[in-house]
Amino acid sequence: MNTKLLLLKSGEDVIAQVEEMVVEEKVVGYYLKYPCRVNLVSSVTNPEGDSKVPSQIQLLPWMPLSKDKLIPVVADWVVTITDPIEQVVNMYNDGVEKYETPKNSGAGTESVSDNTD
């Protein structure tokens, strides 16, 4: 699977590991693995003009309540697919790596004891 940036009809930018959904040699949609919505936040005014420059990129889970590992999206809902910039790919890969890494069984847990005598 390739990491791609999709623009959906809804206006959302989604980054995901993308696989084509092919039926009878025709692409009818895409399977998205670990999809995240990409937001540009905290825009600041460019000192050289009136244009605004994004100062922060935010990744949020897309369809976080789904239990499916691969989320199908029909081709009609995809406006375009591009390669994301390196900064977004690195953020995305770090997030996926943390999500896939199993938690250590003893790390970060506290035991609670009942001290009633």
Residue 8 lies in a domain: yes
Q: Which domain holds residue 40?
A: 2-96
Residue 112 lies in a domain: no
Residue 101 lies in a domain: no
The CATH number of whichever domain residue 89 belongs to comes to 2.30.30.100
Taking residues 95-105, what's their average pLDDT?
A: 72
DSSP letters, 14-72, are EEEEEEEEEETTEEEEEEEEEEEEEEEES-EE-TTSS-EE--EEEEEESSTT---SEEE
Residue 102 lies in a domain: no
CA pair distance 109, 46, nearest whole angstrom: 46
Residue 85 lies in a domain: yes
Residue 109 lies in a domain: no
Residue 104 lies in a domain: no
Q: What total of structural domains would you count in the chain?
A: 1
Residue 69 lies in a domain: yes
The model's confidence at residue 105, banded by pLDDT at 50, 70 and 90, is very low
Percent of the chain with pLDDT over 90: 63
Tokens of 110: 């506290």
Spatial contact of 8 and 63, defined as CB atoms under 8 Å apart:
no
For the chain, the average pLDDT equals 84
pTM attached to this predicted model = 0.74
pLDDT score at 54: 56
